[in-house]
Amino acid sequence: MPPAPPRSPLADGWVWLLLYGALALIGGLLALVHPFAASLTVVTFAALGFVLAGALKMIYARRIRETGAYLISLALGALFILLGAALWLNPLAGLMSLTALVAVGFVLIGIAKTAFALHLRELRGAGWVLVSGLLTLVLGVMIFANFPYAAATVLGLLLGIELISTGVAFVVAALMLRGM
Average pLDDT (37-62) is 94
pLDDT value at 69 more than 90: no
What is the DSSP annotation of the chain? -PPPPPPPGGGGGHHHHHHHHHHHHHHHHHHHHSHHHHHHHHHHHHHHHHHHHHHHHHHHHHHTTTSTTHHHHHHHHHHHHHHHHHHHH-HHHHHHHHHHHHHHHHHHHHHHHHHHHHHTTTSTTHHHHHHHHHHHHHHHHHHHHTTTGGGGTHHHHHHHHHHHHHHHHHHHHHHHHHT-
Average pLDDT (122-145) is 90
Looking at residue 30, what is its pLDDT?
97
Looking at residue 18, what is its pLDDT?
93
Looking at residue 88, what is its pLDDT?
94
Looking at residue 146, what is its pLDDT?
93
Average pLDDT (14-23) is 92
pLDDT value at 126 more than 70: yes
Looking at residue 124, what is its pLDDT?
84
Looking at residue 6, what is its pLDDT?
65
Looking at residue 8, what is its pLDDT?
66
pLDDT value at 112 more than 90: yes
Average pLDDT (84-102) is 94
Looking at residue 162, what is its pLDDT?
93
